[in-house]
Chains A and B, each alone.
Chain A
């Protein structure tokens, strides 16, 4: 046999050709591994993981609609589909512009409430301090009271809520409007409160009560029933009973 050397060369070429797909796969795996490692070290993977955990917590909360940071009207549908729920809420509210407020989806970044104080108060004098008063010269307390009309005050609170997204403000408005008999506005502000703080039970109760007042009794019952199913709230149960008996 004299052609062994060319045959050896040919076999080497054949072996290279045969190994090529494996080499390509190995290179791909290595590159992918390197990419993942790079991501990991630049904390990119952490973000991915944190995203993952967020999503899981989200899915966990979807079963408890009011506990999750979701709009209140989501409880009206079996599956918490956002678009559908939005439709339901808009039906109830769209016939009248309540306030020129941003929707829940376009929430600004939450800031600490920046409250403008119009009333300057001082501490109440205690007995110990009375004694001290005798020693120190009397200091006059000035109360700067500014007259503000009720409607103007509500507008201010609404404007403040727009800035701060403080659920206390929106709940205050919901309560106030409910007391005033402005149930549509009360419903709107209860909904806004729930958008900001989905765990706020009062917002749900107010929302339900406003619904009843607006002759949407069945809707109110459905909302409360769903809420009771999820949270087993006693307050909600009492309110539901009252609504059913027509005492609200």
Chain B
């Protein structure tokens, strides 16, 4: 027999599936800001935020929304080498694969982009841009100077990456959008909406304010951490539901289980 917590657990599997996108107050603002920036004649836009603040899903969402209106491409995984990146870019620009044993001539590519000015407006969403080296970033900037290709660069906000942002982007980026961790209300909405989206009304109701406050305390409002914690919580609930039902109350998620999940994930220590 399937446990009621199994479906709840699966809701919180961390993914950037567009169907999992939850509209929250802050995420809607960020989305509108990004959409507005894309419409402006800007060369580069920086999407900034700590890991797990929803940058990837926002890029994904905007690509899905605008793909029928604009030439918009989402580079989810960073290319290991320059060669790979330019192969991808070549395909985006020309719609053709680069012939085998050939390499992209960068200056020819820039000229090609310059020729596209006024004819096409290509938007490239670069996720995990902190993985690109400074040299490649310089070439990306030169390509954006052609004004035919616009880059939305998504970057993790850590100490080192802040430095990269400062050194390589500060003078070139025209607009910066920062995503922050969710506050308690947003996180509550996020959890409830996610569960309700899958018709898990009872489970959503069992998440009371006190428990949600504790979850926010452990995760700091980070969506990825929240997904991890809730997945573990429902995994423990599922175990008890199957093997020791006396230890669980269906109308409430016990604090004990939240703390056990936090212990398992290392948010708290003995």
Do A and B share a complex? yes
B268 CB–A CB distance under 8 Å = yes
- Contact assessment for B263 and A11 in the assembled complex, using a CB-CB cutoff below 8 Å: yes
Interface residues of B in 37-53 (CB under 8 A from A): none
- Contact assessment for B235 and A7 in the assembled complex, using a CB-CB cutoff below 8 Å: no
Interface residues of A in 1-17 (CB under 8 A from B): 1, 3-4, 7-8, 10-11, 13-15, 17
If A13-B270, A14-B268, A14-B270 touch, whether A7 touches B238 (CB-CB below 8 Å) is no
B256 CB–A CB distance under 8 Å = yes
Q: Which residues of A contact B264 (CB under 8 A)?
A: 3, 7
> Residue of B at shortest CB range from A16?
B270
Q: Which residues of B contact A15 (CB under 8 A)?
A: 259
Q: Report the bound CA distance from A8 to B236 in whole Å.
A: 10
- Write out, one digit per residue, whether chain B residues 184-217 have a CB within 8 A of any chain A CB (1) or not (0): 0000000000000000000000000000000000
- Contact assessment for B235 and A8 in the assembled complex, using a CB-CB cutoff below 8 Å: no
- Contact assessment for A1 and B260 in the assembled complex, using a CB-CB cutoff below 8 Å: no
- Contact assessment for A17 and B236 in the assembled complex, using a CB-CB cutoff below 8 Å: no
Choose among A4, A10, A14 the residue that contacts B239 (Cβ–Cβ < 8 A).
Answer: A4
- Contact assessment for B238 and A1 in the assembled complex, using a CB-CB cutoff below 8 Å: yes
Q: Which residues of A contact B256 (CB under 8 A)?
A: 11
Nearest chain B CB to A9 CB, angstrom units: 9
- Contact assessment for B236 and A14 in the assembled complex, using a CB-CB cutoff below 8 Å: no
- Contact assessment for B263 and A10 in the assembled complex, using a CB-CB cutoff below 8 Å: yes
Choose among B236, B238, B240, B270 the residue that contacts A10 (Cβ–Cβ < 8 A).
Answer: B270
If A1-B238, A1-B239 touch, whether A7 touches B260 (CB-CB below 8 Å) is yes
Nearest chain B CB to A14 CB, angstrom units: 5
> Residue of A at shortest CB range from B232?
A1
Question: Interface residues of A, CB < 8 Å — how many?
Answer: 11
- Contact assessment for A17 and B260 in the assembled complex, using a CB-CB cutoff below 8 Å: no
Interface residues of A in 76-133 (CB under 8 A from B): none
Nearest chain A CB to B230 CB, angstrom units: 14
Q: Which residues of B contact A7 (CB under 8 A)?
A: 236, 260, 263-264
> Residue of B at shortest CB range from A17?
B270
- Write out, one digit per residue, whether chain B residues 242-266 have a CB within 8 A of any chain A CB (1) or not (0): 0000000000000010011001100
Q: Report the bound CA distance from A4 to B239 in whole Å.
A: 8
Interface residues of A (CB under 8 A from B): 1, 3-4, 7-8, 10-11, 13-15, 17
Could you list some 18 contacts between A and B, CB below 8 A?
A: A1-B235, A1-B236, A1-B239, A3-B264, A4-B239, A4-B240, A7-B263, A8-B260, A10-B260, A10-B263, A10-B270, A11-B256, A11-B259, A11-B260, A14-B259, A14-B269, A15-B259, A17-B270
> Closest 3 A-B residue pairs measured CB to CB?
A13-B270, A1-B239, A11-B260
- List 6 additional A-B contacts (Cβ < 8 Å) besides A4-B236, A8-B260: A1-B235, A1-B236, A7-B260, A7-B264, A11-B263, A14-B268
